[in-house]
Amino acid sequence: MKYLHLSDLHLLGSDRPNLYGADPRLRLLRALESMLIHHADADFIAVTGDLTNDGSPEAYRHLAEIAAELSLPLLPMVGNHDDREAFAAAFGEYLDEEGFVQYRRDLGDRSFLFLDTLVPGAPYGALCKDRLAWLEGELKQLRGREVHLLMHHHPIPFGYGTMDSKADFRSAGEFWEILGRFEGVRHIAFGHLHRNLFASHGGVTMHCTRSPVFQLAYLPDAPREYLTIREAPAYGVVECDEQGVRVQWHEYLEEGDLFVGEE
């Protein structure tokens, strides 16, 4: 199976068309156009949080309208820039009984758990005891199946200064302790870092994808504050089979000319 991974859309209301010189809405539409041209066989499009830049109800409504017209299911999550109440007005079907944006999708022999790491008003993320209990309960039900997790915040540090110290995932200890008791968790997809990243931890592979709008600079010799950079936007193409997980990133704004090269 295959799914497509978008993250950190940072959509705005109509009163603010641009962010750092880019139009988030147009960047999103370009990404979706590329997906439908090149990857129409995908099972779904996952969007791992920061759907909006400031919780704009108008931006959520607009995203819901776009999603309704797509030929592929668009599965949204929330990040630290999101607002659950405004999200719920447009995407209420994705909230659980406790009001969190947590849900599960089963595809064949695989299950996908979408996690809500939003802490209102904070740049960091966490899973409260109710959300951790939900995760553990789902994993108990899914024993014997292959499980993939999708979330906004990065579950391990990556060396990005304030993103690891002030905008980190503060339930990492409990999270990995739960995962360590269930053998079926294979892969984690996340956003927040605005980078193309691949890693493994505790036998679980994971990846992040760039934002359609702006990227986080990784410059180890630079000051450790939050630095942005105008690198090309991308979306992830995630393929899963019995042997493992493959992730490729498509820089969709400038796809380049195809030609037959010489050996």
Name the pLDDT band for 217 (thresholds 50, 70, 90).
confident
**pLDDT recorded at residue 224:** 61
Least Cα distance to 175 among 232, 245, 117 occurs for 117
The tally of CA atoms less than 13 A away on the side-chain side of residue 256 is: 5
pLDDT at 75: 98
pLDDT digits (tens, 9 = 90+) for 125-134: 999 999 999 9
pLDDT tens digits, one per residue of 16-30: 889 988 999 999 999
The string of pLDDT tens digits covering residues 135-194 is: 999 999 999 999 999 999 999 999 888 899 899 999 999 999 999 999 899 999 999 999
Cβ contacts of residue 111 below 8 Å, gap of 6+? 104, 105, 138, 142, 145, 146, 147, 148
The CATH architecture to which 2-250 belongs is 4-Layer Sandwich (3.60)
Contacts of 47 (CB under 8 A, 6+ apart): 6, 7, 9, 74, 75, 76, 77
